[in-house]
Structure 1
Amino acid sequence: MNTAASARADVIIVGGGIMGCAAAFFLRRRGRSVILLERELVGRQASGANFGNVRRQGRHLHQLPLANRSREVWGRLPELIGEDVEFLPSGHIRITYDQERVGLLESYARDARDYGLELEMVSGDSMRKRFPYLGPEVRAGSLSPLDGHANPRLSAPAFCRAAARLGAQMIEHTEIALVEKEGEDFRAISTDGRVYRAPAMLITAGAWGDHLALQFGEPVPLIARGPQMGVTEPVPYGIRPVVGVSTNITEESLYYRQIPRGNIIFGGCGYGEVSTETIRAYVKPENTIRQLSQLRRLSPVLANVNLIRVWSGIESYLPDSNPVMGPSAKVPGLYYAFGFCGEGFQLGPGVGDVMAELIDTGATDVPLEHYAIGRFAAAEAILAAATSPAKAAAGTH
Structure 2
Amino acid sequence: MAFVIHMGLAAEHTGPLPKEADVVIIGGGIIGITAAYYLAKKGLRPVVLEKGRIAGEQSSRNWGWIRQQGRDLAELPIMMEANRLWKDLAAEVGEDLGLTTCGLTYLAKDEADEARYEAWLKGAREIGVDSRMLSGADVGEMFPGIAKTFRGALHTASDMRAEPFIAVPALARAAVREGAVILEGCAARVLDREGGKVAGVVTEKGRIRAPEVIVAGGAWSSLFLRNEGIKIPQLSVRATVAATNALPDVHQGGANGDGLAFRRRQDGGYTLASAGYHELYIGPDAFRHFPAYIPELIRDPFGRTYRPRAPKGYPDGWGTKRRFGADAPTPFEAMRILDPLPNTAIVEKIRADFEALFPALGKVEIRTSWAGMIDSLPDIVPVVDRAPLEGLSICTGMCGHGFGIGPAFGRIMADLVSGGELGHALNRFRVTRFSDGSKLELGPDI
Please, what TM-score do these two structures have when normalized by structure 2?
A: 0.79
Q: What amino acid is the match of 2:354?
A: L
Greater mean alpha carbon deviation, residues 148-157 or residues 289-298: 289-298
Q: 1: distance between equivalents of 2:394 and 2:14?
A: 24
Change (3 A) 1:214 1:299: same
Greater mean alpha carbon deviation, residues 8-17 or residues 70-79: 70-79
List structure 1 runs of 4+ shifted beyond 4 angstroms: none
Residue 297 of structure 1 deviates from its aligned partner by 5.0
1:97-147 alpha-carbon deviations (Å, 9 max, x no partner) = 122221222232232111121112211333312322433232111110010
Change (3 A) 1:268 1:7: farther
Change (3 A) 1:102 1:306: same
- Would you say 1:271 and 2:278 are equivalent positions? yes
Partner of 2:194: 182
Q: State the secondary structure of the residue aligned to 2:81.
A: helix
Q: What amino acid is the match of 2:278?
A: Y
Q: State the secondary structure of the residue aligned to 2:179.
A: coil
Partner of 1:167: 179
Partner of 1:7: 19
Partner of 1:112: 124
Q: 1:239 aligns with which of 245, 251, 270?
A: 251
- Contact kept, 8 Å, 2:235 with 2:375, in 1: the verdict is yes
Change (3 A) 1:280 1:259: closer
Q: How does 1:1-397 map to 2 (within 5 A)?
A: 1-183=13-195, 185-192=198-205, 194-245=206-257, 252-269=258-275, 270-272=277-279, 275-276=314-315, 278=335, 279-302=338-361, 304-328=363-387, 330-361=388-419, 363-378=421-436
Q: 2: distance between equivalents of 1:127 and 1:311?
A: 30
Residue 260 of structure 1 deviates from its aligned partner by 4.3
Q: 2: distance between equivalents of 1:313 and 1:7?
A: 33
Return 5+ residue gaps in structure 2 as ranges. Answer: 1-12, 282-309, 316-330, 439-446
Change (3 A) 1:5 1:60: closer
Q: State the secondary structure of the residue aligned to 2:54.
A: coil
Residue 167 of structure 1 deviates from its aligned partner by 1.2
Change (3 A) 1:286 1:57: same
Q: 1: distance between equivalents of 2:357 and 2:123?
A: 27
Change (3 A) 1:218 1:362: farther
Change (3 A) 1:126 1:187: closer
Residue 316 of structure 1 deviates from its aligned partner by 0.7
1:325-373 alpha-carbon deviations (Å, 9 max, x no partner) = 1211x11221111110111100111111111112122541212111111
Q: State the secondary structure of the residue aligned to 1:100.
A: helix
Q: 1: distance between equivalents of 2:133 and 2:117?
A: 8
Q: What amino acid is the match of 2:174?
A: A
Q: State the secondary structure of the residue aligned to 2:43.
A: coil
Return 5+ residue gaps in structure 1 as ranges. Answer: 246-251, 381-397
Residue 302 of structure 1 deviates from its aligned partner by 4.4
Q: 1: distance between equivalents of 2:109 and 2:202?
A: 52
Residue 3 of structure 1 deviates from its aligned partner by 2.3
Q: State the secondary structure of the residue aligned to 2:154.
A: strand
Q: State the secondary structure of the residue aligned to 2:435.
A: helix
- Contact kept, 8 Å, 1:138 with 1:298, in 2: the verdict is no
Q: 1: distance between equivalents of 2:360 and 2:273?
A: 18
1:19-69 alpha-carbon deviations (Å, 9 max, x no partner) = 000000000111111111000111110001111111110111111011011
Residue 300 of structure 1 deviates from its aligned partner by 3.9
Change (3 A) 1:5 1:240: closer
Change (3 A) 1:133 1:337: farther
Q: 2: distance between equivalents of 1:34 and 1:337?
A: 16
Please, what TM-score do these two structures have when normalized by structure 1?
A: 0.88
Q: State the secondary structure of the residue aligned to 2:153.
A: strand
Q: State the secondary structure of the residue aligned to 1:262.
A: coil
Q: What amino acid is the match of 2:433?
A: R
Q: 2: distance between equivalents of 1:51 and 1:169?
A: 28
Q: 1: distance between equivalents of 2:384 and 2:146?
A: 37
- Contact kept, 8 Å, 2:163 with 2:266, in 1: the verdict is no
Q: 1: distance between equivalents of 2:60 and 2:142?
A: 32
Give % identity: 26
Q: What amino acid is the match of 2:401?
A: E
Q: State the secondary structure of the residue aligned to 1:27.
A: helix
